[in-house]
A and B are shown apart, each in its own frame.
Chain A
Amino acid sequence: MNLFKKKKYVPVTVRPSSEYAPHVPDGLWVKCIVCGKTVYGKETGEYKICPHCGGCFRLSAGERIEMIFDEGSFQEINANLETKNPLSYPGYEKTIAGLQKKTGLREAVVTGKGEIAGLTVYGAVMDSNFMMASMGSVVGEKMTRLFEKATEEGLPVVAFTASGGARMQEGIISLMQMAKVSAAVNRHHQAGLLYITVITDPTTGGVTASFAMQGDIILAEPKAVIGFAGRRVIEQTMKHQLPKNFQTAELVLENGFIDKIIPRPQLKETLIKLLRIHNAVKGAGA
C-alpha cells in the first residue's frame, strides 16, 4: 500500500494560489451562483462549498492544484505559451495582457505533471477567471502537448475542465483546436492509457464537444453546468424559459453522459481509487 508512503517530492514551479486568481476571500461576503444566497467567505470552508445548497464555488487553477495534487508535487509545463492574434481582433492583445496581470495566469489552462497519493499523472486545470477559460490556440496547444507527453511516458491524464467554449476572438483557429486536441486524446487512448475528466462549473461549447466528453471516466462536481449550446441561445430558439436544473451535472448524469458526481471533499480520494485500480497489476488478486 503506497497510499500513505512518504514520497520524495519534485521541485515546485507552480506559483501559490494567491498569485493565480481571485479566490474566495475569507473575510468577505460572496454570493453562491447556484442558490443565490450570500455566504460569509469563511463559511465556505477549505473546499469552498456553499453551506446552504452544497454548490461548489469556482476554484482558481492554483486552488485546484493544492486541493488535488500531493503537496509540492505539481510541476507546470509549457507555462510560457502566449497567444497571437490570428484575426487581428481589435484590442485582443490588450485584453489578454490585462487578464494576465489580474489573474497571474498566462492563459486559461495550467498543465503539468504531478502526483496524486504518490501516483504520477499529467494534469490539466482550466481556470474560468481567464476569459471564461475559452479555448484558443494556447489552450489547444497546451492540451495537445500534455496528451503527447503522457502518451510518450505512458502516464494517465486527469483534466479538470471549465470553459465557455471556443475563443471567439481567434475565429476558425480556435475551432480547429477541438480537432487537434481530440486527435491527441485518441493517440493516448490507442496507447491504452487512462484519461479521467472532472467536469467543473461551467463546461460548455467546444470543450464539452471535444476533450471534456472524451474521458474513459467522466466525473463531475455537484450542480456544475454541463452543456453544448448556451442556455440563453436555447431559450431564444425555444422562446420559453428553461427549467432551473437544465444542463446541471445531475440531469446530465440522469441522461447517461457522465459516470458519477463527486462532492468536492471526496474528489481526491475518488481519483486515488480510480488511479490505483488502473495501476494495479493485472491478475494480482488471483
Chain B
Amino acid sequence: MKHAYDIVTLARKVTRPTALEYFNYILDDFVELHGDRSFQDDKAVVGGVGLLRGRPVTAVGIQKGHDLEENMERNFGMPHPEGYRKTLRLMKQAEKFNRPVIALVNTSGAFSGVSAEERGQGEAIARNLFEMSGLRTPIISIVIGEGGSGGALALALADRVWMLSNTVYSVLSPEGFASILWKDSSRAKEAAQLMKLTAKDLLELEVIEKIIEEAREEDENYFEITADRIRDSLMEELNILCDMGIDMLLEKRYERFRRIGEFEER
C-alpha cells in the first residue's frame, strides 16, 4: 500500500493531465469561454461548453501547467476571486440553459496574496458555496490532482464528488497542517498520514461517492484510458441526475452535506 504522502506527490506531479486536456478529450466541440464580466480573466480557472456524447454540458476547472512557464501563466493553479466568479457566471449560465455542470478540481488552494484579499477571496468562495447549494441543475465535481482547502471546495459543492485514485482532498496542505499545528512543516509526511486525505480515506468517510481508478502510471495510454473512464462515469451518472426532478436533486444535495459532522449530544 502506498504511503499517504506518496499519493500527495503523485497528485502534484506536473505531468498530470490538466482540466483543459480532459475537457478537450472528453467533450466534443468544446468551446472555452473566458472572464468574470467584472474584473478580468483568471487564467488559473478555465471553463466552457461542449457536448458529452451529444449532451450539452458546462465545464469548469482549475488549470495547472506542465512546466514553469505554463505554471507562471496559470498562477500554479491558485485562483484569484475573479476565477471563482468566472465559474459562478458559467454555472448560472448552465442553470439558465438547463445543462449539467462538470467541475474539475486541481489546486493547492485559493491564491493567498494582497490582490486576492483586496478583491474579496473570502466573498468569492462564500458566494460560490451559497449559489451552488441552490443551483437548479446537476453538478458533478471530480478531483483530478490536488483538492486544497476552501479554494477546492468552491468548485465541489456538488451532487456527486469523485476523485481520481491518485489524488488528495484536504482542509489544507500537509505542509500547512504540520506548520500550523506542530510549527514544523518538515513533518508533512506524518501530517499526510493523519489527515485522511486520500481518495480511499475520503470514500470511507463518505465525503466522496466514488473513486475513478487511474490507468497505471507507466502505461503509455495513461491519459486516454483515464479520460475514457471519466467520460463513462459522467455519462452514466448524468443519466441518473438529469432524470431526477430538480427539487429532489436539490433536497439530496442538501442532505449530502447536511449529514457530515462528527459530534454527540450529551
Q: List chain A positions with a Cβ less than 8 A from chain B.
A: 80-89, 137-138, 140-141, 144, 166, 168-180, 182-187, 189-190, 205-206, 208-214, 226-230, 233-234, 237-238, 242, 246-247, 255-257
Contacts and interface: CB of A to CB of B under 8 A. Distances in A.
B165 to A, nearest CB: 17
B150 A178 contact: yes
B262 A86 contact: yes
B126 A229 contact: no
B126 A209 contact: yes
A122 to B, nearest CB: 18
Contacts of B194: 87-89
Nearest to B152: A175
Interface string B120-159: 1111011101110110000000000000011001101100
Interface string B57-69: 0000000000000
A228 B117 contact: yes
Given A182-B129, A187-B134, 9 more contacts: A87-B194, A166-B171, A178-B153, A182-B133, A183-B129, A208-B123, A209-B126, A210-B125, A211-B126
Nearest to A177: B261
B240 interface: no
Contact of B207 (A172, A187, A234, A256): A172
Interface centre among A86, A205, A246, A257 (most CB of B within 10 A): A257
Contacts of B126: 182, 208-214
B181 A81 contact: no
**Range, interface on chain B:** 35 or more
B245 interface: no
Contacts of B257: 176, 179-180, 183
B24 interface: no
B122 A213 contact: yes
A157 B65 CA distance: 44
A83 B264 CA distance: 6
B153 A175 contact: yes
Contact of B177 (A168, A189, A190): A168
B55 to A, nearest CB: 26
Interface in B214-266: 253-254, 257-258, 260-266
Interface of A: prevailing SS: helix
Given A89-B194, A228-B121, A137 B171 contact: no
A172 B202 contact: yes
B112 A234 contact: yes
Query: Counting chain A CB atoms within 10 Å of each CB, which of B133, B177, B263 scores highest?
Result: B263
Interface of B: 110, 112-114, 116-123, 125-127, 129-131, 133-134, 149-150, 153-154, 156-157, 169-172, 177, 180-181, 194-197, 202, 205, 207, 253-254, 257-258, 260-266
B122 A180 contact: no
B171 to A, nearest CB: 4
Contacts of A189: 130
B171 A228 contact: no
Contact of A187 (B171, B254, B261): B254
B253 to A, nearest CB: 8
Contacts of A179: 129, 133, 153, 156-157, 257, 260
B117 A247 contact: yes
Given A141-B261, A209-B150, A87 B114 contact: no
- 9 closest cross-chain pairs (CB), A and B: A208-B122, A229-B112, A183-B133, A182-B129, A213-B126, A228-B122, A137-B261, A209-B125, A84-B262
B150 A206 contact: yes
B260 A177 contact: yes
Contact of B261 (A173, A212, A238, A257): A173
A226 to B, nearest CB: 8
A88 B262 CA distance: 11
A180 B260 contact: yes
A72 B261 CA distance: 32
B129 A234 contact: no
A140 B261 contact: yes
A144 B262 contact: no
A209 B264 contact: no
